[in-house]
Amino acid sequence: MCTLLRLSLMAVWLLTSSNQALASASILIWPIDPVIEDQQPGTELWLENRDKVPVYMQIRVLGWQQMADKDDYSTQSAVIASPPVASIAPGKRQLIRLIKQSAPSAGQERAYRVLIDEVPMKDQPISDTQMGLKFQMRYSVPLFVSGKGVWTKQVSGKPRDFTTASQPQLSYRLLQQGNQRWLVVRNQGIVHARISKVTMQGNTLNPGLLGYVLPSSQMRFALPSAGNFSHGKLLATVNDNEQPVVIPSY
């Protein structure tokens, strides 16, 4: 089994709800929420260099799990990036193919993180033992791979009734530890939850993206220091649902 790697040093998480994001002053990445469905061999990721100098990028796909309320990543071979390295001239785009080597079982979803490292041009590609030590900027894009019977978002050229999409099964509780209050969200479903625009009893907890909770996992999120939050009605936008979802307490 692959050794789990905690990758937090200088990480930049691209967790927005739009289809593309300006990752830094120079690199445009889209889509930022790619999926590979059961019948698809892979999907596409585009990198565009908006700087005036060439950039050298290294692309890797890591397995993604959540353990003890934290994100953990591991080396894996079920999904690969092709090409794994790219030199992109100013004003040019590079297509990266994310290719599925093995599929999840029916009714399951696997989660990955696509790491895109901007490497100094004079350096060689970073090895696993050097990970996090020799890059200029790191970008991270979530990738979800669906097994048979599972889908979570509308995809281009394949309109369908979103009421039939696979949904997470969420519940929450509040946790006090010293002076810090936490919102703990548990997902007992078979697909991930992308949680944003969170309110409790009409008070805004987070106006943007709160974060992800993977299947059969739980995560905790820091609550604002100000505000009188207690157990009550928690509303959030979950994945691509058009209407806010009520998350019950447990």
CATH number at 96 reads 2.60.40.10
Quick one: 38 and 84 in the same domain?
yes
Quick one: 207 and 95 in the same domain?
no
Quick one: 172 and 90 in the same domain?
no
Quick one: 171 and 142 in the same domain?
no
Quick one: 137 and 215 in the same domain?
no
Quick one: 11 and 93 in the same domain?
yes
Residue 189 within any structural domain of the chain: yes
Write out the residue range of the structural domain in which residue 49 sits. Answer: 4-146
Quick one: 36 and 138 in the same domain?
yes
Quick one: 72 and 195 in the same domain?
no
Distance CA 63, CA 75 (A): 6
Which of 81, 115, 146 terminates a domain? The answer is 146
Residue 203 within any structural domain of the chain: yes
* Domains of the chain: total: 2
Residue 34 within any structural domain of the chain: yes
Residue 132 within any structural domain of the chain: yes
Q: Distance between alpha carbon 221 and the CA centroid of its chain, in Å?
A: 16
Residue 105, pLDDT score: 97
Residue 12, pLDDT score: 43
Residue 248, pLDDT score: 95
Residue 84 within any structural domain of the chain: yes
Distance CA 235, CA 170 (A): 11
Quick one: 120 and 218 in the same domain?
no
pLDDT one digit per residue (tens) for the chain, 250 residues:
333 333 333 334 443 444 555 555 589 999 999 999 999 999 999 999 999 999 999 999 999 999 999 999 999 999 999 999 999 999 999 999 999 999 999 999 999 999 999 988 764 454 444 444 455 788 999 999 999 999 999 887 778 888 899 999 999 999 989 889 999 999 999 999 999 999 998 888 999 999 999 999 999 999 887 766 777 889 999 998 889 999 999 9
Q: Are strands 11-13 and 137-146 parallel, antiparallel or unpaired?
A: parallel
| Residue 144 identity | F
DSSP output for 38-57 = TT-SEEEEEEEE-SSS-EEE
DSSP output for the chain = -PPEE---TTEEE---SSS-EE-SSSEEEE-SS-EE-TT-SEEEEEEEE-SSS-EEEEEEEEEEEEETTEEEEE--SSEEEESSEEEE-TT-EEEEEEEESS-PPTT-EEEEEEEEEEE-TTSPPPPGGGTTTS-SEEEEEEEEEE-TT---S-BTTB---GGGS----EEEEEEEETTEEEEEEEE-SSS-EEEEEEEETTEEEEEEEEEEE-TTEEEEEEPPSSS---SS-EEEEETT-SS-EEE-B-
Residue 122, pLDDT score: 63
For 146, the token pair is: 């669906």
Distance CA 92, CA 187 (A): 40
Quick one: 99 and 175 in the same domain?
no
Partnered with residue 71 across adjacent β-strands are 66
Quick one: 133 and 204 in the same domain?
no
Residue 21, pLDDT score: 55
Which residues are CB-contacts of 242 (< 8 A; sequence separation ≥ 6)? 162
Quick one: 12 and 122 in the same domain?
yes
